[in-house]
Structure 1
Amino acid sequence: MSTLPKVEITKIHTYTGHKDAVYTIEPGGEDHLFYSSGGDGHVIEWDLHNYENGRLIAKVDSSVYALCYVPEHDILIVGQNYEGIHLIRLSDRSEAGSLQLGKLAIYDIQYTQGLILVACAEGEFFIIDMKSLKVLKRSVMSEKNLREILVIDDRCFVGASDGQIIRVDLKSFEIENQTMVHEKSVFGLAHHVKDQVLLTASRDARLKYWDVSQQENELESINAHMYAINDVVFRPDYQYFATASMDKTIKIWDYEQRRLIKVIDKARHGGHLTSVNKLIWSGFKQFLISCSDDRSISVWDINIAK
């Protein structure tokens, strides 16, 4: 087995502008910009060029689990739990549109090819035309919540709280395949673009590799954390990836070797005090960004030397 690389962790900064748990972070139109929201309903823009206070983009009356940036229109889609989606024009922070989806929690939003995809509580999945905000398809995919959406070309994979991933054809809007992949909720999905490998992360604390070139064939199953894994993201070069967990840690993994190479925690690195909810591995200096129930957002320099 190959020697593991040397990893040095430096915490660059911690943002502390939120008044409640930070549930989600989303990359912006430029590498140095990103957005966050959570239990306080504040939607904030942060700039990695400086570490001053963020810019308040919007304030909604309930918690936000999902944000989605649409580069073609410079619009941020905000999933306001129980009140539908709101489109915010970032140039002047004005509302560009909104759509009520029923009294449902909204767990994830993705945009692709003029379509807004929304994963909700009670297994509800929406495909919406971005221009008209017309619902093109509404379906119930599971008896439990839909937690995560990953778009790969003309397909999307939806992770559900019953342990399934559901593959949807974005041309016909029909379900192509449903595979039971975990014992509990699928919270995180990430795709290795060259290898046609899908990573799944779950409330069962397991991380799995899947071959999705034909069907979903399991390649590897790793007991990765003590508690639920909330997210998984690749570094931009796809050599490494990171997982975030309810066990308060972030773990760095070597993709090819399928091995853990570093644990970021409170004691050794000044990590988060509570559950780590979401990650971005940014193109800006390859910083890793994390958010947590502890109301903070941390920026990490992950220096990996082979």
Structure 2
Amino acid sequence: MLGHKGAIYSLLLAPDKQSVFSAAGDGYLVQWPLSPLGDGQVLAQLDAPIFSMALLQEDRILLGDQHGDIHLIDYPNKQLLQQRRGHDKGVFALLPWSNSSFLSAGADGQLSRWSIPKFRPEASWKLSHKSLRALLLTTDQSTLVAAGSQGHLFFLDAQDFSLQKEIPQAHQSSIFCLAQTPNYLLSAGRDAFFRVWTKKEKEEIPSHAAHLFTVNDLAISPNGRYLASASRDKTLKIWSLPDFRLLKVIDAPRGGHINSVNALLWANDQLLLSASDDRSIIVWELLEIAAD
């Protein structure tokens, strides 16, 4: 899929699961059909690179940009509904929270809870002196996990946002992404490792040197059998779960990307999408893995 004029930073599955949204450094929000594959349709254009994206309702998308602004888009009607400055500099993570609120995290190290009706922050917490880059709500909905450029993991109570636990230097440098299985929390970032933590005790179990350079994204298949990882080393890798055995390496000679791979999205158990600095989205049909 070609059409963006800048690096692609975020992918999101549409509610009908028949199309995907992409957001990029060119400021464009684009919708692409999956079945069959086709040309993209521009839904919005911002005047700044888009770093983060979240589906708020069936017909609403949140976009976070490089300047710290958060935009609410009515995507079927291609209409900007709201825009407000949320953070100093970039907005790196957006997370729907309730019917009336969402969370944002940014380069200022702040976590903010927003009111959707008022479209403004209701409360903010300064977690780090460096950027916050990833947010994750645990499957039991009891804990919010935040991580960022400080390399720390923060575990907050999902009810009152009090700090339950902090793991200093969970990584040697920035943490860019988080993922979870029923039993584990995974984190990855600039040190090229993904690290695996038990969610009950929050203790590390053996970690993996996953790539040569920064790990930009992690994505677990809907059936929970596979983990995909994307890296600045221009590769994406497929790992089996729960044993974290490497199954496939997809690089440029195998038809992969020629620049940093920034974002991953499982459309279903066999269909994986990857997006890159090379301005392309590649759709992978993983029939061999599905048949294992």
TM-score by shorter chain over 0.5? yes
Choose which of 273, 277, 280 in structure 1 pairs with 2:262. 277
Q: Does 1:174 align with 2:156?
A: no
User: Is the contact between residue 87 and residue 107 of structure 2 (CA under 8 Å) also seen in structure 1?
Assistant: no
Give, as a single letter, the amino acid of the residue that structure 1 aligns with 2:266: W
Do structure 1's residue 263 and structure 2's residue 252 form an aligned pair?
A: no
Percent identity of equivalent pairs: 31
Q: How do residues 44-123 of structure 1 correspond to structure 2 at under 5 angstroms?
A: 44-71=30-57, 73-114=58-99, 115-123=101-109
1:202/1:252 CA distance change after superposition, 3 Å = same
Match of 1:16 in 2: 2
Aligned mates of 1:241, 1:282 — CA distance in 2: 14
Alpha-carbon contact 1:125-1:140 (below 8 Å) kept: yes
Aligned residue number for residue 199 of structure 2: 212
C-alpha deviations, 1:54-84, integer Å up to 9, x for none?
111100001111011123x420001122151
Q: Which sits farther off after the overlay, 293-302 or 95-104?
A: 95-104
Within 2, Cα distance between the matches of 1:77 and 1:139? 20
Q: Does 1:296 align with 2:283?
A: no
In structure 2, stretches of 5+ residues that fail to align are none
The change in CA–CA distance for 1:286 and 1:207 in structure 2 (over 3 A counts) is same
- CA separation of 1:184 and 1:102: change in aligned 2, threshold 3 A: closer
Closer/same/farther in 2, CA of residues 257 and 28 from structure 1, 3 Å limit: same
The alignment's TM-score, normalised by the length of structure 2, stands at 0.94
Q: Please name the residue that 2:212 is paired with.
A: 226
2:136 alignment partner in structure 1: 150
Q: 1:174 Cα shift?
A: 2.0
Q: Which runs of 4+ in 1 moved over 2 A?
A: none
Contact map agreement 2:234 2:257 (CA 8 A) in 1 = yes
Match of 2:13 in 1: 27
Q: Which residue number corresponds to residue 183 of structure 1?
A: 172
1:50 to partner: Cα distance: 2.8
- Contact 1:236 1:286 (C-alpha < 8 Å) held by counterparts: no
**How does the TM-score come out when normalised to structure 1?**
0.90
Contact kept, 8 Å, 2:94 with 2:102, in 1: the verdict is yes
SS at match of 1:85: strand
Cα deviation for residue 51 of structure 1 reads 2.7
User: Bigger relative contact order, structure 1 or 2, given CA contacts below 8 A and separation 6+?
Assistant: 1
Task: For 2:78, give the aligned amino acid.
Answer: R
Amino acid corresponding to residue 79 of structure 2 in structure 1: S
* 1:255-288 alpha-carbon deviations (Å, 9 max, x no partner): 1222111100111x210000000100112x6310
Of 183, 187, 197, the match for 1:200: 187
For structure 1, which runs of at least 5 residues remain unmatched after alignment?
1-14
Indicate the residue corresponding to 1:141 in structure 2.
Answer: 127
Distance 1:182 1:83, change over 3 A: closer
Q: CA deviation at 1:122?
A: 2.4
Confirm or deny that 1:129 pairs with 2:115.
yes
**Separation in 2, partners of 1:54, 1:154:** 38
Is the CA contact 1:254–1:260 (under 8 Å) kept in the aligned structure 2?
A: yes
**RMSD between aligned residues:** 1.4
8 Å contact 2:87–2:108 — kept in the other structure?
no
Number of equivalences = 286
Partner of 1:204, secondary structure, is coil
Tell me the amino acid that sits aligned with residue 152 of structure 2. Q
Choose the corresponding residue for 1:39, options 25, 46, 55. 25
